[in-house]
Amino acid sequence: MERFIFVLGSNWQLSIAELDNYLKYSKYKGRIIDYSANIAIVEFKDLHLDPHYINKLMEIQFNLGGCQKISKIFDFIDINTIQEAFPTQMQNFKSVERTRKKISNIIENYIIGKNGIFPKVYESMFFAVSIYPNLYDDPYYSDILVKHFLPFLNKEIMEILKQKGAEKALYYQYPEKNIISGNLNPIFPHHLIKYDLLNENRAEIIFGFTEEGVYIARTFTTDDPNFKKKIDEERPYKEFKSSISPKLALIMLNFLNIFENRESKKILDPFVGNGTIALFAILQDFQIYSSDNDLKKVNNTIRNIHWLLDLLEEEIPPFTHQRVVKQDAKRLSNIFQPYFFDGICTEPEFGPFYTEKPYYLQAKEIIENELTPLYDGFFKEANKILKPSSRICFISPIISTIDGDDLQVNIENLANKNNFKLVPMLDLTRINSKYNQKLKFRKNQIKNLIDAKKGQIVKRKLYILEKK
């Protein structure tokens, strides 16, 4: 059975939730059998039986927002063996030497061959070793893996390649300062593209750690961050302070659980702003409708959509003006038919943009008198225009205050009141538990997941609501 490493996005909990949902409901059925804060190990039900499965991995990569790259696993070494070969304190040289030899032999078995990391020997070969630790703040990573395991791997793999007949075998050298600081900054997707690491005679070889041990894999697909960045940054209208990231837009679209026939599915963003969700929905083949109560935003989104279609060299359909309209989200049913939409994906109005934390009472006023009635009115309308059992993926703010607790809208109440149920973002029965507290998912956590940077005043909280 083939297994794959999915290198997760920076919000690993959200990336795992997205991936598990994808593996559960899309046609590419599978399970996450192990994970860390950086990688998920995936076993597919039958994808690997297809001789062209790499094309399918590319499709999965294109759909997922929280996946940096996908790598095929060749072998696994348990954590005790690694710790014996690379102990924190050198006591027994003989056992260190013996176990390191064992690790070299394992690598040698898989390095070259029809089903190996490299399909055959080339005159000139190049590889980059990436180490993904269980958690980045683990001292075993900075003190041992970066300083001892990495140089060992580089040297061993280089020698094996030469012994097998490569005239030139080179490896990617991390900057000295990264080795000294104990943080490699692993090979990012744009490096994979820059160094041609998807070519046959070049490779990124991943050593991905979990609590159980290390998975050895070769990368086959990568995210194309330059393309996402181009759409996000070069579109004619963009407001950095109120826009979600392309990755989050993709993750939200996937939580709608619409994976088949996307081209015939109608989805709506009723607080469209400058259209981040709309643009990425077009790239994912959905029929996108959107609205906003600010005419300027409506025109910006239309302009952005035309710009994207032009970039994709696609014809501009005559109906964009009917599908992107000015409308209050509390009155959606005035313009859209009942049971019209297959899903709604949106980041609504959050209230004022804060450069400093507000006072508790100020934030409370916004939450109670502005946002709660707005979201309530929107959910009431959403219930009318959505098909039965379809979903809303919704972001709600958490506002930090100077003089009190964080404040937020009670989305669960509003959902129940308007004929929706909250759907957990992760099915805990499908995920094996971990010892490390930092890696555990808790039951009360998974009703929603937070997307935020450290110290952010307004954090984003993601919810999935399903029409009853």
Ligand X SMILES: C[S@@+](CC[C@H](N)C(=O)[O-])C[C@H]1O[C@@H](n2cnc3c(N)ncnc32)[C@H](O)[C@@H]1O
- Taking the least distance from each CB to ligand X, the nearer of 186 and 273 is 273
The correct pick among 329, 392, 399, 409 for binding ligand X (CB under 6 A) is 329
The correct pick among 271, 289, 336, 441 for binding ligand X (CB under 6 A) is 271
CB 311, min distance to ligand X, A: 18
> Under the criterion CB under 6 A, does residue 425 sit at the interface with ligand X?
no
The correct pick among 178, 242, 299, 372 for binding ligand X (CB under 6 A) is 242
> Under the criterion CB under 6 A, does residue 347 sit at the interface with ligand X?
yes
> Under the criterion CB under 6 A, does residue 328 sit at the interface with ligand X?
yes
Q: Do the Cβ atoms of 359 and 369 come closer than 8 Å?
A: no
Identify the CA nearest to 418 among candidates 427, 407, 409, 408: 409
- Taking the least distance from each CB to ligand X, the nearer of 196 and 239 is 239
Identify the CA nearest to 160 among candidates 216, 103, 199: 103
The correct pick among 100, 235, 297, 461 for binding ligand X (CB under 6 A) is 297
- Taking the least distance from each CB to ligand X, the nearer of 174 and 271 is 271
DSSP 143: I
Structure tokens at 238: 């963009």
Residue at token pair 């450290």: 454
- Taking the least distance from each CB to ligand X, the nearer of 166 and 272 is 272
> Under the criterion CB under 6 A, does residue 274 sit at the interface with ligand X?
yes
Helix axes 295-311, 276-283, angle to 10 degrees: 30
- Residues numbered 118 to 177 that lie near ligand X (CB under 6 A) are none
CB 13, min distance to ligand X, A: 21
Q: Which stretch binds ligand X (CB under 6 A): 210-218, 345-353, 357-365, 422-430?
A: 345-353
- Taking the least distance from each CB to ligand X, the nearer of 159 and 353 is 353
State the binding string over 449-468 for ligand X (x if CB under 6 A, else -).
--------------------
CB 272, min distance to ligand X, A: 6
Task: Classify 234 as helix, strand or coil.
Answer: helix
Identify the CA nearest to 201 among candidates 227, 167, 175: 167
State the binding string over 276-295 for ligand X (x if CB under 6 A, else -).
xx--------------xxx-
Residue facing ligand X at closest CB distance? 273
Q: Which stretch binds ligand X (CB under 6 A): 160-168, 266-274, 362-370, 416-424?
A: 266-274
> Under the criterion CB under 6 A, does residue 333 sit at the interface with ligand X?
no
> Under the criterion CB under 6 A, does residue 375 sit at the interface with ligand X?
no
- Give the C-alpha separation, 377 to 371, whole Å: 10
Q: Which stretch binds ligand X (CB under 6 A): 90-98, 176-184, 347-355, 398-406?
A: 347-355
Structure tokens at 311: 């970039």
Identify the CA nearest to 207 among candidates 21, 81, 66: 81
Q: Do the Cβ atoms of 346 and 270 come closer than 8 Å?
A: yes
- Taking the least distance from each CB to ligand X, the nearer of 36 and 300 is 300
CB 294, min distance to ligand X, A: 4
Q: Do the Cβ atoms of 217 and 77 come closer than 8 Å?
A: no
> Under the criterion CB under 6 A, does residue 374 sit at the interface with ligand X?
yes
CB 393, min distance to ligand X, A: 12
> Under the criterion CB under 6 A, does residue 108 sit at the interface with ligand X?
no
- Give the C-alpha separation, 375 to 372, whole Å: 5
Angle at 22 between CA 21 and CA 25, to 5 degrees: 80
In DSSP terms, which residues pair with 42 in a beta bridge? 4, 32
Helix axes 276-283, 225-234, angle to 10 degrees: 140
Distance of CA 44 to the CA centre of its chain: 18
> Under the criterion CB under 6 A, does residue 350 sit at the interface with ligand X?
yes
Residue at token pair 């005559």: 318
What is the secondary structure of 260-304 as a DSSP string?
S-GGG-EEEETT-TT-HHHHHHHHTT-EEEEEES-HHHHHHHHHH
- Taking the least distance from each CB to ligand X, the nearer of 83 and 299 is 299
> Under the criterion CB under 6 A, does residue 243 sit at the interface with ligand X?
yes
Q: Do the Cβ atoms of 309 and 290 come closer than 8 Å?
A: no
- Taking the least distance from each CB to ligand X, the nearer of 134 and 301 is 301
147 by Cβ neighbours in 10 Å (0-12 / 13-18 / 19+) ranks as middle
CB 19, min distance to ligand X, A: 23
- Taking the least distance from each CB to ligand X, the nearer of 68 and 276 is 276
- Taking the least distance from each CB to ligand X, the nearer of 330 and 461 is 330
CB 369, min distance to ligand X, A: 14
Task: Classify 398 as helix, strand or coil.
Answer: strand
> Under the criterion CB under 6 A, does residue 244 sit at the interface with ligand X?
yes
62, 203, 311 from 59: Cα distances, Å: 5, 21, 20
Q: Which residues bind ligand X (CB under 6 A)?
A: 242-244, 270-271, 273-277, 292-294, 297, 328-330, 347-350, 374
